[in-house]
A = this chain, B = another copy of it.
Amino acid sequence: MISNKCKYAIKALVYIAANESDSRAVMTSDIARDQQIPRKFLEIILRELRNNRILESKRGKDGGFRLLRPAEDISLSEVMRIIDGPIAMLPCVSLNYYRSCDECDESTCEIKGVFEQVRDRTLEVLNGQTIKSLTLNC
């Protein structure tokens, strides 16, 4: 399962992509209201996405958030990794957060192979979807 935080992050990005314009940044409070996300929690999430160069922000009146890059260049897998960390089901098959399992020998591990397959199938979907492609469902 992905966390609520991650679900909120994805929905917020899709909302921003669908509502931003040159003349308008999208405010936390608008996203929170329309997507039913606790506002203060959402602030933390959006700041984290900004710190990871997914969003840019503008403070003060008429402030808000915009995508820092085109929506078609932000993949779902990238967002999920920022918020929730590894996508793989085992640390030892993670591409971006690899850790060895201290209790088992990877060269003879009976289950590593299956979870590599799961990882690859999962990433085929998640790498192929972007914030742009998700806005088409709006």
Stretch at the interface among A49-57, A66-74, A108-116: A108-116
CB distance B114 to A7 under 8 Å? no
What size tier do the contact residues of chain A reach?
Answer: 35 or more
A100 at the interface (CB under 8 A from B): no
Judge whether B1 and A35 touch: CB under 8 Å. no
Known A1-B88, A90-B1, A104-B11: A135·B110 in contact at CB below 8 Å: yes
Q: Are A110 and B126 in contact (CB under 8 A)?
A: no
Residues of B within 8 A of A19 (CB): none
Counting every copy of the chain, the complex holds 2
Q: Does A129 contact B (CB under 8 A)?
A: yes
Whether A110 pairs with B90 at a CB distance below 8 angstroms is no
Residues of B within 8 A of A14 (CB): 110-111
| Residue interface bits A76-114, CB-to-B below 8 A is 1, else 0 | 100000000010111100000000010110000111011
Q: Is A134 on the interface with B (CB-CB < 8 A)?
A: yes
Query: Which residues in A have some Cβ–Cβ distance to B below 8 Å?
Result: 1-2, 7, 10-11, 14, 35-37, 76, 86, 88-91, 101, 103-104, 109-111, 113-114, 117-118, 121-122, 124-126, 129, 134-135, 137-138
Cα(A122)–Cα(B37), bound, Å = 29
